[in-house]
Structure 1
């Protein structure tokens, strides 16, 4: 019997529900309704909630527009990390799943493969390559997690959260107080600055290995 839906169709519909209604809105029943079928039909494709959430992670990964490789590993790594960052940020309701769920298919690992390949073109290998890969991924996902929790220093001095952070840190925690007073007007700018620092460190390791 020919399958009524492709897995990609189910993935994208599940992500659309999460984007619109949040994780709480995703269920076998809501997904079945969006697809115009009954919940029992979906069990031919997905066993339960855990696999359903894994499909959402894969759907996000499928939307990462990985750049074509070039001879410039540094530019490729920046482009790959940026593509991943922008895609994750475009689906904030799905971010908790992206941070905590493993992908369910090789296709879902394509963004990680693109990043690892870019770093490998630097000449790093073994433990250094693994450390570089984990560092870039940790930066991208860590910043996504920080943004999900709310801005450290939101725009506008009158913002209640800014006042709360200021009240907690002023006097007792001067370094954090200074950071809270700076704010991050643009998340992309903060990402670009942070990624540049990370890549500077990796560049130093690459050059040291060549000496």
Structure 2
């Protein structure tokens, strides 16, 4: 019997529910209603809610437009990490799933594979490449999470810090006047420069 839905159709519908109602709004029942079918039909495609959540992550990853490879590993790392960040933050309600489900199956490996490949051209040893990968991935996902807070949280932190914590208060004012795009760009470039600097130091030893 021909399948009534494709996996991509189910994933797209599940992502729409998360975008509109949050992770808590996603269930076999809500997805079945959105597709105009019964919950039991979905068990032909996924085993449980965890499977649905992995499909949501797969749908987000599929939207990430990975750049063409160049001869510059630093530029490639920057472009790949930026593409990942844009893809994740375009679905803020799904960020918890990206954090917890991105490595649950091979659907989340495409962007990771590209980033690891770029780092592979940096002449790092295996442990340094692993550390660099984790640092970049953590920066991307952490920045996407921080975006949810926005400038209002920075202002609130500054008000709470007050005169007791002048450094926190001063930096919160900078944060309130800085766009998330500029903050991410600066931080990512600093991180990649740090990886490159570490690489040069190790090669001189």
**Fold equivalence (TM over 0.5):** yes
Q: CA deviation at 1:184?
A: 4.4
Instruction: Name 1:48's counterpart in structure 2.
Output: 48
Select which of 178, 182, 192 maps to 1:199.
192
Instruction: Name 2:60's counterpart in structure 1.
Output: 60
- Aligned structure 1 segments of 4 or more residues deviating by more than 4 angstroms: none
Select which of 164, 168, 172 maps to 1:172.
164
Q: Is the 8 A contact 2:102 2:108 kept in 1?
A: no
Instruction: Name 1:111's counterpart in structure 2.
Output: 111
Q: CA deviation at 1:210?
A: 3.2
Q: CA deviation at 1:61?
A: 1.2
Q: What SS class does the counterpart of residue 181 from structure 2 fall into? A: helix
- The runs of 5 or more residues in structure 1 that have no matched partner are none
**Alpha-carbon distance between aligned partners in 2 of 1:93 and 1:163, rounded to the nearest angstrom:** 23
Q: CA deviation at 1:200?
A: 1.0
- The runs of 5 or more residues in structure 2 that have no matched partner are none
Instruction: Name 2:38's counterpart in structure 1.
Output: 38
Q: What SS class does the counterpart of residue 88 from structure 2 fall into? A: helix
**Alpha-carbon distance between aligned partners in 2 of 1:137 and 1:178, rounded to the nearest angstrom:** 28
Greater shift after overlay, 186-195 or 63-72? Answer: 63-72
**Alpha-carbon distance between aligned partners in 2 of 1:57 and 1:2, rounded to the nearest angstrom:** 26
Query: So what's the TM-score if we normalise by structure 1?
Result: 0.89
**Deviation sequence 1:98-149 (CA, Å, 0-9, x none):** 112244432321011111111111111310100110000111111112222x
After TM superposition, the structure 1 = structure 2 runs for residues 180-195 of structure 1, keeping only pairs within 5 Å, are 180-182=172-174, 183-195=176-188
Q: Is the 8 A contact 1:58 1:104 kept in 2?
A: no
Residues 35 and 53 of structure 1: CA distance in aligned 2, closer, same or farther (over 3 Å): same
**Alpha-carbon distance between aligned partners in 2 of 1:53 and 1:93, rounded to the nearest angstrom:** 12
Give the number of aligned pairs: 203
Q: Is the 8 A contact 1:184 1:190 kept in 2?
A: no
Q: What SS class does the counterpart of residue 12 from structure 2 fall into? A: helix
Q: CA deviation at 1:191?
A: 0.2
TM-align CA RMSD:
1.7
Which protein is richer in helix relative to its size?
2
